Amino acid sequence: MSFFNEVYGSWKDKQLSKYEELVPKMKRCLGKSESVLDIGIGRAWLWKYLKEEGFGFKRIDGVDISREATEPELDGVNYVYIDGSSKDFNLSQELEIDGYDLVFAFDSVHLIDYEDELPGLVKDGGFLLQAVPLRFRKEIKIYREMEVVEQGEIGVEEIDRFVLQGKSD
C-alpha cells in the first residue's frame, strides 16, 4: 500500500462520524435525489454509507483528479477524472449531463478553482452541499441564487463547517 493510501485510509473513521451527523439533517433532499455529483469523491465512503443507510440513487457521478485517491473504485459510480489545473478548465464540459438533483463538495471545496460552476450544475429544485474542516471555513461560498436551507458543524475527531443550499423550482 502506498504512503498516500495509508494516510488517506486512516481518515475513514473521522469521515464516517461527519456523515453520521450530516445525513439526518439532509434526509429530505437525499430521499428525493435521483442524480448526484460528488466533487472530490475520493474512496466514495459517503456513497457506501448512504447505501447501507438505505438510500438509492439512479446516477452517481464522481469527479476526482487522482485515480490513486479513488482506489478501489465503487461499483455503480461513474468516475470522471479531470485535470483541474488548467486556467481554461470547465467542469461542465467533462460531464455527460447538464444538471443534478444534488451536488456534493465534501472536504473538497477548498481544493478546487472551479467553484463558480457549482450552482450551475444544480437542477432547479436541487441542492448543493459544501463541507470543509473548520480551518478552511472561509472557502465556503454562499451563492446568492440559492437559499441556505441548513448549516452548522459536524464531526468528532475533526469538525467540519457545512452549508446546504437549495435552488428554487
Ligand X SMILES: C[S@@+](CC[C@H](N)C(=O)[O-])C[C@H]1O[C@@H](n2cnc3c(N)ncnc32)[C@H](O)[C@@H]1O
Interface residues with ligand X (CB under 6 A)? 15, 39-42, 45-46, 63-66, 69, 82, 84, 106-108, 111-112
Q: Which residue's CB is nearer to ligand X, number 15 or number 165?
A: 15
Query: Alpha-carbon distance 72 to 32, whole Å?
Result: 28
> Sheet containing 35-39: which strands, arranged edge to edge?
77-81, 59-64, 35-39, 100-106, 122-133, 160-166, 147-154
- C-alpha distance across the termini of the chain, in Å: 47
Q: Give me the least distance between CB of 168 and ligand X, in Å please.
A: 27
Any idea what DSSP says for residue 96? Answer: S
What value does the CA radius of gyration of the chain take, rounded to a whole number of Å? 15
Nearer to ligand X, 64 or 101 (CB): 64
**Nearest residue (CB) to ligand X, 74 versus 149:** 74
Give the number of other Cβ atoms within 10 Å of residue 158's Cβ: 15
Residue whose C-alpha is closest to residue 111's, from 66, 74, 152, 57: 66
Three-class DSSP category at 81: strand
